[in-house]
Structure 1
Amino acid sequence: MDKLKQANLYRSELIPVSGKLVERYNKCLVKLGFIETKLKTFSIDGIGWSPEIAEEKENNSYLNNGEANPHGIIISPLQKGKPVYLPFHTFDRDIMKFVFKIHGEKIKDITRDSAICLDFDQGIDAFYEPLDVLKYNNIAIHFHLIDNLDKIKDEQLKLVETFNRDNNFIDETIHKKLLDSAKSYGDLRNRDLNLHELQFTTDSFYTRAFGGVYILRDFITPIVVFEDEKWYKEAIKDTNYEVLIYHIQQPELMDKLRDHVIIEYDLEKVVKTKRYERIKKFEMAQYLNKPQHPIKDILNDPILYKSYLNKLDIESRKKVMSVERYLEKLETSNQFKIADIVDLKLFEALHQPHSSLDAKHQDLIWKLLVNVSAKDVLFWYWYDKEAFYSSFKTWDDSFKDWVIETISNNI
């Protein structure tokens, strides 16, 4: 990962946490029902997730009380606008934007000396069956302050009220209570610590529950796509919902997405794009076996590229050039079928969200398409960073250099 870090492509916007902030973060963990971290320093993203703590706990979802109960932690106003690096749902980023939009000023004040625990309550205590994810609708966002600071404020106000009543101003016991509270928590009387509950409505989304599930419910018919085959097989037994259910590697899925005007393709158009160029070079790299030149040079130098293309065995060469071969044959006859010439996974990678979709749905469908066939390193990095990082570790160093250059030149 060092290469990615040096290029600022690996979690480069994390916020460092140390000192008092560690103490406050731990209080949030305890309040949410988790065990404190033993780390003295770590970093967090926009929702309060820390890669170092995840590694310590050997649990990427350590901020979840089960898959149905995710949480967040805010200890700094600097979290506003920061990425959510490992969202449990694709709408997590939108939720955090919403939280800071409504409560941003209060958060800035509260986090001067406190921290905020976020409870994302979708009205589901626990998941029991894979299609329980369809129950997601409205999410209530509850806020809880560590040390019950809001309740301490109420106590201070009551003490002041008591102090001002009759001759209580001479009562040394009340004096002491006021002073002790002020020393411990400061003067809270004029601070607005009330973070009222927020409501967030979901539509189509992806969740990491049940091994990863896409819920597409803003289209002709609701479609549920499972990444995990075990949960897919379990879900198709459930007849309580009128939805279409697919495993992500089922060829029928792409047919249905095209039929429902969710995705589209145009091979003649796409071959002229930089995206196709990236995909084709990625495909080429998969067939390079112990090349004499660095892979980066082969992919960037047209002469070297052509040289190594011709060194591939005939079947590999056909796969790399399958789209061009199909389009050439199409010029002479329309009898040829895409499936007969173009490699299936390459063909799937050349799809895109339908142009009629709004931006929010396009992002979700791009993520789905990347998970169906990950061949565009740029979109892979954008839409499924964790899977990208896992694959990146296995690549040749020179190929890594090409990938980093490709991504860096496009962001």
Structure 2
Amino acid sequence: MMRLVKKGLMFGNLIEVSSPALVERYNRALKHLIDRETALTGFHIDMSGYSPEIGDEFEDQLYLNPKGCNQMFILLTTDQMKAPLLNSQFSTSRSILRQYIEENEDQLFALTAREAVAGELMNSVFHISSPSDLLHINQIEIEADTIQEHVAEAHQLSEQIDQFMTEDDAWWDDVLIAQMIELAKRTGNIQRNPVTLDNKTYVQGNYYTSHFGGVYIFRDAETPTVIARERVEGLDDLSIEQILTFDDREAIADFLRDEDLSELIVQAPNQSTAAIIKQKLDFITITIAAEQGHDLSGLSRQNIRHLERRFVEDLPEEFHGLMDVWRWASMGGRPPKMRPNHPAFFYCLRSSQHKDRDLVNMLLSDLSRLDFRQLFICHKALFYDAYRSWSESKKDYVSDFLAQEYAMDKVGAREALFGDEPAMEEPEPEPKPKTEFTNPWGKAKVKDGLYKVKPHNKKEDDFRELYKDYRKKNYRKSKKGKRD
């Protein structure tokens, strides 16, 4: 794993903690949260304050996330919001914690200047023993304060000030005045510099969890669905409309289509999308060559074609299916037909633009693991698990490729692979025509008193033709009542 660490592909952007003052603050927070302290004089922490070095020291990589259920955190600086979140058991934890830090950045900056802030992402359950517990996690509440309880004391002082200003006899209450003076010594002038950290609640909607072998939960979908890697005990007892496993490929494809969660990478012949498919072909070729013991050192893109010829009999169905798609995308001709049960099918999809785009791309990377680049971008924990079993030659090649081809321009690579980031604001609705009717060829709009039929969309025709069994050739109603 040291290759990844040295190239910044693992444990990158962690915050270094080396000064005695910060180490002491961290230990006070650690003692407060889990009643333990570290003997290390220097270490690195992620967004939550978790340190891989301390995890090794304690022989517990979940020392800030007991039972993988309620994530605790230690903030020494607001710069932690730029760090990754390691060993998270829920896909939403990073975005929730980052949002909390951003919303309270000014207050946290002032508080961490004198003491560590400790808190917890509290689920509505304290232990996850069966899949049904996952559906009980509806909200995440964050409570945080300094170890010396500056926020709580500031709140107490604020209440005492209100009492002092509103009650007639408060001027003669020596005990109240003495308490206010003592609190003010620790909190400072809260009227000039307010110290507040409001408890914040975040909705836990669609998410992925590593519990029970990996489960994707889409309960905000029109058809609430759970997709698990394997059928574990208790999965069938979930009170949700649809329960699927990775063996239900056709049903997963239908769900992604009907909920408008996915789209084809290649919707019509295009050199840009053909290049994406070609790289997926290269990744599969490299994987097979490595499994056959081929030395990948010094491998260039030109040499990969020689590997395709050499190992053509060993290349899997994923390769041959993607090759048909690549030929059509780059050269035109008749679109290939591919059903969801084909091993290459999910390699041809990516998430459409919506708020759960990262979650859907995570699911798709899980279903197309030979694409190691997409696996690294969308599902790092799964990538690291796979990486440990690779040959040394493949580890060298993949780490070099990711460092040179991806890490140098992460934003550009993600836009090329997954499209532009979804807009944060809802688009303005287009005005509807006064009169319209629907026919098999599209919507006819009234213009100058005449009906004008919307022409065929060649791109949509190719889209339907490419996956004839996935998206029907003729217009039809989906579960949402919209045309596919």
TM range (shorter): 0.7 to 0.9
TM-score, structure 2 as length reference: 0.69
Q: CA deviation at 1:15?
A: 0.5
Supply the distance in 1 between the matched residues of 2:109 and 2:328 (Cα, whole angstroms): 63
Q: CA deviation at 1:20?
A: 2.1
1:144 aligned counterpart, secondary structure: strand
1:156/1:188 contact within 8 Å kept: no
Which residue is equivalent to 2:198? 196
Q: Are 2:354 and 1:366 aligned?
A: no
Q: CA deviation at 1:373?
A: 1.8
Give the percent of matched residue pairs that are identical in Structure 1 and Structure 2. 20
Query: Given the superposition, is the C-alpha separation of residues 73 and 167 from structure 1 closer, same or farther in structure 2, using an over 3 Å criterion?
Result: closer
Which residue is equivalent to 1:236? 236
Q: CA deviation at 1:251?
A: 2.3
Supply the distance in 1 between the matched residues of 2:247 and 2:62 (Cα, whole angstroms): 25
2:122/2:140 contact within 8 Å kept: yes
Which residue is equivalent to 2:221? 219
Supply the distance in 2 between the matched residues of 1:59 and 1:295 (Cα, whole angstroms): 36
Moved more, 105-114 or 216-225: 216-225
2:73 aligned counterpart, secondary structure: strand
1:295 aligned counterpart, secondary structure: coil
1:90/1:207 contact within 8 Å kept: yes
Query: Given the superposition, is the C-alpha separation of residues 319 and 132 from structure 1 closer, same or farther in structure 2, using an over 3 Å criterion?
Result: closer
Which residue is equivalent to 2:311? 312
Q: CA deviation at 1:410?
A: 4.0
Q: What does 1:4-83 correspond to in 2, within 5 Å?
A: 4-18=4-18, 19-83=20-84
Amino acid at match of 1:385: K
Equivalent position to 1:388, from 361, 383, 404: 383
Which residue is equivalent to 2:471? none
Unmatched tracts of structure 1, length 5 or more: 169-173
Q: CA deviation at 1:52?
A: 1.7
1:326/1:338 contact within 8 Å kept: no
Which residue is equivalent to 2:107? 106
Deviation digits for residues 226-270 of structure 1, max 9, x if unmatched?
A: 23543xx321134xx132112235424433334423223355658
2:283/2:370 contact within 8 Å kept: yes
Query: Given the superposition, is the C-alpha separation of residues 156 and 118 from structure 1 closer, same or farther in structure 2, using an over 3 Å criterion?
Result: closer
1:378/1:406 contact within 8 Å kept: no
Q: CA deviation at 1:116?
A: 1.3
Unmatched tracts of structure 2, length 5 or more: 165-169, 411-484
2:207/2:218 contact within 8 Å kept: yes
Supply the distance in 2 between the matched residues of 1:329 and 1:179 (Cα, whole angstroms): 77
Moved more, 56-65 or 278-287: 56-65
Q: What does 1:326-345 correspond to in 2, within 5 Å?
A: 338=338, 344-345=342-343
Q: What does 1:255-294 correspond to in 2, within 5 Å?
A: 255-260=253-258, 261-265=260-264, 272-288=273-289, 289-291=292-294
Amino acid at match of 2:379: D
1:225 aligned counterpart, secondary structure: strand
Q: What does 1:246-257 correspond to in 2, within 5 Å?
A: 246-257=244-255
Deviation digits for residues 289-324 of structure 1, max 9, x if unmatched?
A: 333xx52544x332x233222222525277534333
Query: Given the superposition, is the C-alpha separation of residues 126 and 86 from structure 1 closer, same or farther in structure 2, using an over 3 Å criterion?
Result: closer
Deviation digits for residues 105-142 of structure 1, max 9, x if unmatched?
A: 11111111111112222332333431221222232211
Which residue is equivalent to 2:441? none
Supply the distance in 2 between the matched residues of 1:269 and 1:35 (Cα, whole angstroms): 60
1:270/1:276 contact within 8 Å kept: no
Q: CA deviation at 1:329?
A: 9.9
Amino acid at match of 2:229: E
Supply the distance in 2 between the matched residues of 1:32 and 1:5 (Cα, whole angstroms): 29
2:154/2:196 contact within 8 Å kept: no
Supply the distance in 2 between the matched residues of 1:266 and 1:79 (Cα, whole angstroms): 35
Deviation digits for residues 275-294 of structure 1, max 9, x if unmatched?
A: 32221111001221333xx5
1:118/1:142 contact within 8 Å kept: yes
Amino acid at match of 2:372: V
Q: CA deviation at 1:370?
A: 1.0
Query: Given the superposition, is the C-alpha separation of residues 138 and 154 from structure 1 closer, same or farther in structure 2, using an over 3 Å criterion?
Result: closer
Supply the distance in 2 between the matched residues of 1:20 and 1:152 (Cα, whole angstroms): 23
Which residue is equivalent to 1:351? 349
Which residue is equivalent to 1:377? 372
Q: What does 1:167-182 correspond to in 2, within 5 Å?
A: none
TM-score, structure 1 as length reference: 0.79
Amino acid at match of 1:23: E
Amino acid at match of 2:369: A
1:95/1:200 contact within 8 Å kept: yes
Supply the distance in 1 between the matched residues of 2:359 and 2:222 (Cα, whole angstroms): 16
